[in-house]
């Protein structure tokens, strides 16, 4: 088990090296540059040259890369050319927002998706089943940013039921310890702050959760339909177990195996930033940070964030593989 984890972590090294080379080349190939973005359209060539010299952007690209690499191994990704703060600080401030949003979206997707998929399978061929299948098709097909706009327009702008932007009302003046706003509110017993932060998660969370929801419904449904016809379910019934035991121990447990893989992969995807959704809701997570950084050619932020998100993604997938072994004894790693 330990060897398996170490091997997977070592695989991160080539992944990150390759990714950093690609990123570096890609960013330098973009038209314009940080100097122009910072100093404006009409900056004089002299000013731009001075700016580049200051940030080391006048050096040959491989020198820049080696310098970047040397600092990156010490978790120093430089400072943001936009805010002047270190990339690591920015990341630690932004990531908790994305984590909260991801958790909300996945709880929504799992909480609705698994029961719905299960019921659709048990009432195979009913209107509920057809509804679930068509609904999940729509869920996958609707572009997320469109749905995000729609939700915001309807529930925030028109009806005013839920907040439509940001992570928390500014006037609440909450204390932030961990930057997980909901958690902070609970830790400091500022219940109103926690509740407000939670409300801010609802609309972006639902928008973000629709694709995982749709996928979970479909996979749960298909998987339950498979499992109820398995021989071991017939055995369980032949043993005279109560309908409830058969359902819990023999049907659902096995039907959820493929669902758990999907949940893991989707969580990894959402964690690596929902650029569109976060932008629509002006949600201060890593997604909107990346969006801003692209427009201001904030190389340091882009490089740092994307590399750290790659680490997060690989770690989440490692967790998925480990947890799959816990669920299915046949693939348990020794």
Q: Give the integer Cα–Cα distance in Å for 130 and 135.
A: 8
Contact 290, 80 (CB under 8 A): no
76 counts as binding another protein under rule CB under 8 A: no
11/235 with CB nearer another protein: 235
83/323 with CB nearer another protein: 323
131-140: long-range contacts, CB 8 A cutoff, minimum separation 24: 132/217, 132/221, 133/218, 133/221, 135/214, 135/217, 136/213, 136/214, 136/215, 136/217, 136/218, 137/214, 138/214, 139/210, 139/211, 139/213, 139/214, 139/217, 140/211, 140/214, 140/215
To another protein, the closest distance from the beta carbon of 119 in angstroms equals 17
44 counts as binding another protein under rule CB under 8 A: no
329 counts as binding another protein under rule CB under 8 A: yes
To another protein, the closest distance from the beta carbon of 260 in angstroms equals 12
User: Using CB under 8 A, which residues numbered 267 to 326 contact another protein?
Assistant: none
236 counts as binding another protein under rule CB under 8 A: yes
To another protein, the closest distance from the beta carbon of 236 in angstroms equals 7
The sign of the CA dihedral 84, 308, 204, 182 is negative
DSSP secondary structure string for all residues of 256-293: HHHHHHHHHHHHHHHHT--HHHHHHTT--SHHHHHHHH
To another protein, the closest distance from the beta carbon of 227 in angstroms equals 10
User: Using CB under 8 A, which residues numbered 251 to 270 contact another protein?
Assistant: 253-254, 257
Spatial CB neighbours of 217, under 8 Å, sequence gap ≥ 6: 112, 113, 116, 117, 120, 132, 135, 136, 139
User: For the packed helices 299-327 and 253-271, what is the interaxial angle rounded to 10 degrees?
Assistant: 170
237 counts as binding another protein under rule CB under 8 A: yes
Of the listed pieces 161-169, 189-197, 198-206, 238-246, which binds another protein according to CB under 8 A? 238-246
Of 93, 59, 77, 58, whose CA–CA distance to 20 is shortest? 77
Find the binder of another protein among 44, 238, 295, 334 (CB under 8 A): 238
Spatial CB neighbours of 115, under 8 Å, sequence gap ≥ 6: none
To another protein, the closest distance from the beta carbon of 327 in angstroms equals 7
Find the binder of another protein among 56, 239, 282, 333 (CB under 8 A): 239
CA distances from 296 to 21, 98, 299 (A): 21, 21, 9
To another protein, the closest distance from the beta carbon of 106 in angstroms equals 23
Q: Give the integer Cα–Cα distance in Å for 94 and 167.
A: 11
44/229 with CB nearer another protein: 229
127 counts as binding another protein under rule CB under 8 A: no
Find the binder of another protein among 245, 282, 319, 333 (CB under 8 A): 245
To another protein, the closest distance from the beta carbon of 237 in angstroms equals 6
User: Using CB under 8 A, which residues numbered 196 to 235 contact another protein?
Assistant: 230-232, 234-235
175/235 with CB nearer another protein: 235
Q: Give the integer Cα–Cα distance in Å for 333 and 322.
A: 8
13/238 with CB nearer another protein: 238
Of the listed pieces 55-63, 248-256, 267-275, 305-313, which binds another protein according to CB under 8 A? 248-256
328 counts as binding another protein under rule CB under 8 A: yes
249 counts as binding another protein under rule CB under 8 A: yes
Query: What are the residues binding another protein (CB under 8 A)?
Result: 230-232, 234-243, 245, 249-250, 253-254, 257, 327-330
């Amino acid at each position: 088990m330990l060897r398996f984890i170490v091997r997977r972590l070592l695989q991160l090294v080539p992944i990150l090296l390759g990714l950093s080379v690609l990123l570096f080349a890609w960013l330098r190939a973009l038209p314009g540059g940080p100097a122009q973005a910072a100093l404006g359209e009409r900056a004089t060539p002299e000013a731009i040259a001075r700016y580049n010299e200051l940030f080391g952007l006048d050096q040959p690209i491989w020198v820049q890369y080696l310098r970047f690499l040397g600092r990156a191994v010490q978790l120093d990704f430089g400072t943001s050319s936009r805010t002047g703060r270190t990339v690591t600080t920015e990341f630690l401030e932004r990531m908790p927002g994305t984590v909260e949003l991801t958790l909300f979206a996945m709880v929504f997707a799992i909480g609705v998706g698994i029961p719905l998929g299960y019921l659709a399978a048990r009432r195979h061929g009913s209107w509920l089943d057809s509804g679930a299948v068509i609904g999940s098709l729509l869920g996958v097909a609707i572009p997320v940013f469109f749905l995000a706009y729609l939700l915001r327009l309807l529930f925030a702008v028109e009806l005013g039921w839920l907040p439509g932007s940001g992570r928390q009302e500014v006037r609440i003046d909450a204390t932030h310890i961990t930057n997980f706003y909901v958690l902070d509110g609970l830790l400091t017993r500022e219940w109103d702050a926690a509740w407000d932060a939670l409300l801010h998660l609802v609309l972006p969370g639902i928008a973000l959760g629709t694709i995982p929801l749709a996928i979970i419904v479909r996979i749960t449904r298909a998987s339950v339909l498979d499992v109820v016809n398995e021989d071991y379910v017939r055995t369980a019934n032949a043993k005279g177990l109560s309908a409830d035991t058969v359902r819990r121990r023999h049907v659902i447990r096995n039907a959820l195996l493929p669902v758990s893989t999907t949940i893991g992969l989707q969580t990894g995807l959402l964690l690596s930033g929902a650029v569109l959704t976060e932008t629509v809701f002006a949600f201060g997570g890593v997604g909107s940070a990346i969006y801003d950084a692209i427009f201001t050619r904030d190389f340091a932020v882009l490089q740092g964030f994307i590399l750290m998100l790659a680490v997060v993604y690989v770690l989440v997938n490692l967790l998925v593989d480990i947890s799959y072994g816990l669920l299915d004894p046949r693939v348990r790693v020794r």
